[in-house]
Amino acid sequence: MDISVIIVNYNTLELTKKSIDSLFEFKPKDLTFEVLVVDNASADGSKSHFEKDNRITYFYSEENLGFGRANNLAIEKAKGKYVFLLNSDAYLIEDSMSVFYEFMEKPENKNVACCGANMIDASGNNVTVGGHLPTVKESFARLGFAVFFLPYYRKHLAGGMKHYPEKGTRYEIEYILGADMFLRKSVLDETGAFDPDFFLYYEESEMTFRFRKRGYKSYILANTTLVHLEGSSSKTPELKMKKEKVFSECRYLYFEKCHGKASARLVTLLFGIQSVVLGILKFDKTRFLKARIIFNTMR
C-alpha cells in the first residue's frame, strides 16, 4: 500500500462525505491507497452512513478521543508507506496525493518527515498552512510587541502563515497544520505519532518538535492546492464551550513538554495577565473568565 488516508470525524457527516468523495474523484492513477475514517462518537447519523461505505475502513469510538488519539488509532492500523492526515473539513480539488508522493520519494528528500499543500477556503482565499513552532519569544511578541517589528515577526516567529507567491512553490516550514499532513510512516514508527495527552490543539506542533529534534524537516508544496474550511469541524456547542479551556491546557502542555515547566508557567502567566488587562480596558467580563481559565491551567 502506498498511502493510507486518515480522516477523523466528529458530527461532521456532510463535510466528511465531501472529503471522502474528493479522494476518489482525484485519486492517483498509479498509486494504491486506503481510506480510514475514525469517528469520535458522532451522533449525527455518521455511524449508520459510514459503516455501509465499502470504500473505507471505518472505526467508531464510543468516546470522543480528540484529534491526536483518534489519528493514532488509525495510524496503528495503516498499511501505507505514507500516512495522509486530512481534516474532515478539508477536501481535494486535484490529485495532490501524487504530488506529495513523488516529492517524498526523491532520494534527496529522505530527511523530510512531512509535507503539505497550499490551502484555500471555499472562496479561493489563502488560509493558514502552518508556521513557526511556538516559543516564549513568540508568545511575548503576540502580546502586541510584534507591531514594532512586524516583518521580522512574520518571517521568524509567526505561528500562523499563509502561502504567498514570493515564497516559491516548495519551501521548508517548521510545522504543518494538522488539516493536511502527508507523513512518512517510517518516521512515525521512529519518533512516535501524536502525544495522547493533547486533546485538540498543539498536537501537530509537539509531534513536529520531536521530528526536528531528530533532524527531520517539513515542507509546503505550493504547486498543489486543497480546500480547508478552517474550523467547520469544531463549531459544535460542546466544543465551543470547551474550546478556551482545552486550548489553554494544550498550550501549557506543549510548552511544558518542549521547553520545560518554567516556560509553560511564564507563557500562561503572560496570556492570563493580557486577558485581565483587556478586560479592564474594554470593560469585558468575558476576558476575566478567560483569564481564570488560563490561570487554572498552571500546575
CA 276 to chain centre: 29
Q: Tell me the C-alpha to C-alpha distance, in Å, between residue 53 and each of 36, 58, 89.
A: 11, 8, 19
Cell numbers standing for residue 248:
489553554
The boundaries of every CATH 3.90.550.10 domain in the chain are: 3-232
- Residues 271-277, mean pLDDT to the nearest whole number: 93
Q: What percent of the chain has pLDDT over 90?
A: 84
* Whole-number Å distance between alpha carbons of 191 and 146: 34
pLDDT band at 237 (very low <50, low <70, confident <90, very high): very low
The residues with which 38 forms a beta bridge, in sequence order, are 8, 59
The mean pLDDT value for 162-173 works out to: 89
Q: Which amino acid, 147?
A: V
| Distance between CA atoms of residues 289 and 292, nearest Å | 5
Cα 75-80-81 angle, rounded to 5 deg: 110
- CA atoms of 91 and 79, how far apart (whole Å): 22
- Tell me: the pLDDT tens digits for 56-85? 999 999 999 999 999 999 999 999 999 999
Is the pTM for the entire model greater than 0.85?
Answer: yes
Average pLDDT of the residues in 245-261: 96
Residue 234's pLDDT is 47
Give the torsion through C-alpha atoms of 269, 270, 276, 280, to 10 deg: 150
SS3 content of the chain, % helix, strand, coil (to 5): 45, 20, 30
pLDDT band at 231 (very low <50, low <70, confident <90, very high): low
Tell me, which fold does domain 3-232 have in CATH? Spore Coat Polysaccharide Biosynthesis Protein SpsA; Chain A (3.90.550)
Alpha helices in the chain (DSSP H): 13-25, 46-50, 66-77, 96-105, 136-142, 150-156, 185-191, 203-213, 237-259, 261-282, 285-295
Q: Provide long-range contacts, Cβ within 8 A and 24+ apart, for 187-191.
A: 187/113, 187/114, 187/211, 187/214, 187/216, 188/75, 188/83, 190/214, 191/113, 191/216
Residue 134 DSSP class: P
- Alpha-carbon distance of 94 to 119, in angstroms, equals 12
Considering only residues 213 and 288, tell me which one the structure prediction assigns the higher pLDDT. Answer: 213
How far apart CA 67 and CA 71 sit, in angstroms, is 6
Tallying the residues shown for the chain, one arrives at 299
- Interatomic CA distance for residues 193 and 195, integer angstroms: 7
Mean pLDDT of the chain: 93
Q: Do 270 and 138 contact (CB within 8 A), yes or no?
A: no
**pLDDT tens column, 191-204:** 999 999 999 999 99
Radius of gyration of the chain (CA): 19
Lookup: cell for 106:
526523491
